Amino acid sequence: MACLAIGSAFAEAGKSGITDRQVSVVGFVDAGQLVRGSLVYGDGSEATTTPLEDLFLNRNGIALTYSGTLDERLRMNIGVGGLFYKPVASNPAHEPAEYKRISFGPGISEASAQYDFSRHLNVKFGFFGYKYNPDAVNLGEYLLRSEAYPGIIHTGSSGGWVWMNSNEYKSLGTKVSWTSLNGMLRHDFLMYSEFNDQPLFDFSPSYVATLKVMGAFEFGAGVSLHRWLPIQPSWTTPDDPQHSNTYVEVKNFPAYPALNSSLSHQSGFSGGTWKGMGSQITSYTYADGITHIATELHDASGGLLYEIVDSTGTPIDTLKASKTEKLTFKAIKLMGRASVDIASLLGMDGKSTGPFKAFVEVAVLGVQNQPYFYEKIQNRIPLMLGVDVPTFGILDLLCLQMEYFKNPYPDNSFQQFTNALPQPQLPGGNVAEYEDNLRAGVYDHDDL
């Protein structure tokens, strides 16, 4: 829709005229080093993990943007660009041939139109970026560019086009902005369609409010009904025949041993109420690693039943699942933030000292708990603290940021991207605790 509107507007240029024409060209180089990490191939028991240490990373990008204003009310932006990159950073001896050469990926940086009804009200639509926290340069901006189930926090631009200094959410959608109280209070009503993560194109109605007080304080709050308007409900709340996305509880389930051999790997169970994902229950075996304890059945209404056998394979019981629940990508996300301009409070000249601010942002990535993987809300609350340090003219901006996020799972979207499941990636099939709760970033900027 945005592209059609922009094309129509440009076609009418000869009649009504386009003013404020601007063309900008931006080139950038991302370079750095991955000190320590891992590259995971596969999933569950088939997953293999390759350690990564001291890897140099480098890529180059360019973007060309054209903008213009029609009849002083309709502003249009069209941007294209590309990225030269190496797809995977790993051991060259084990990479496929196509991963050993530099690749080029073209893309659209923006295709949008904004119509100003008045100086207090405007609407924007198309493919464009949105940023509600002007102080966050790398970390933060959780409300729109983070997933809830699984809890994935993204840095850089959406889709990974830019690693740093691109702290905004970019996708297809519509934004209505309205200011009141002489510009002190701004309301942003958003309707974005998911463009980067599975399931694609789900709509998320969102609202963000920003309040400026006394010229030194700024407060913000927002709510996002994440994926509440799905394109295909069975994708947003997956229902697969293997019940990989169905949480199951079965009472009086028999005990089974822990196994770790070439035939089978499983954690032991002492008997009682079994809790887990439906695809797991039929995989457990007795000590021989061959005889499966349970076989899935269904009653007349489609309810889950399990036929239980003994170690010889003889049926001994039939158990009914006492609870079943499908996991979903849908979530209610909340955000709150605040900043204070310390230089303004102290009566300092900001032009000579440079920015001197402190700011904070906190979010809840899913207010509802879901069974098995997402039972503690405190594991879905990221916190970001930051400060702009005055450099007295040496730099235009020196920003320090720190983030705390008690996520017990890897920051890995393999299950979501590959299998379209609202579950974390668990290398080796084991629920592992991770200690990478803290992140820090330093950003400096100087215009030449």
Q: 341-379 burial, b for 16+ CB within 10 Å, e for fewer?
A: bbbeeeeeeeeebbbbbebbbbbbbbeeebbebbeeeeb
Note down the domain range covering 7. Answer: 1-115
Specify the pLDDT at position 6. 46
Q: Given a cut of 60, is residue 325 above it in pLDDT? A: yes
Q: Given a cut of 80, is residue 241 above it in pLDDT? A: no
Domain check: are 131 and 164 in the same one? yes
In DSSP terms, 18 is beta-bridged to: 70
Domain boundary residue among 289, 309, 326?
A: 326
Amino acid at 444: D
Tally the C-alpha atoms within 13 A of residue 55's C-alpha that lie toward its C-beta: 17
Q: What is the pLDDT of residues 53-71, one digit of tens each?
A: 777 778 888 989 999 998 8
Tally the C-alpha atoms within 13 A of residue 168's C-alpha that lie toward its C-beta: 13
Domain check: are 333 and 437 in the same one? yes
- Of the candidates 325, 337, 286, the residue with the CA atom closest to the CA atom of residue 131: 337
- Which residue's structure tokens are 């169905």? 246
Domain boundary residue among 326, 360, 376?
A: 326
Q: CA-CA distance, 198 to 442, in Å (whole number)? A: 31
> Which DSSP symbol is given to 419?
H
pTM: 0.86
Q: How many folded domains does the chain comprise?
A: 3
Domain check: are 308 and 346 in the same one? no
Specify the pLDDT at position 435. 59
Question: Tokens for 444?
Answer: 């400096």
More confident call, 410 vs 2: 410
- Of the candidates 193, 221, 217, the residue with the CA atom closest to the CA atom of residue 207: 221
Specify the pLDDT at position 443. 84
Instruction: Write the DSSP assignment of 319-350 as a string of letters.
Output: EEEEEEEE--S-EEEEEEEEEEEHHHHTT--H
Domain check: are 301 and 435 in the same one? no
Domain check: are 104 and 26 in the same one? yes
- Which residue's structure tokens are 């590259």? 39
Domain check: are 318 and 371 in the same one? no
Question: Tokens for 362?
Answer: 């906190």
- Of the candidates 115, 117, 114, 116, the residue with the CA atom closest to the CA atom of residue 128: 114
Q: What is the pLDDT of residues 244-291, one digit of tens each?
A: 899 999 999 999 998 876 555 788 899 999 999 888 898 899 988 889
Domain check: are 400 and 429 in the same one? yes
Domain check: are 32 and 137 in the same one? no
- Of the candidates 425, 402, 362, 422, the residue with the CA atom closest to the CA atom of residue 148: 422
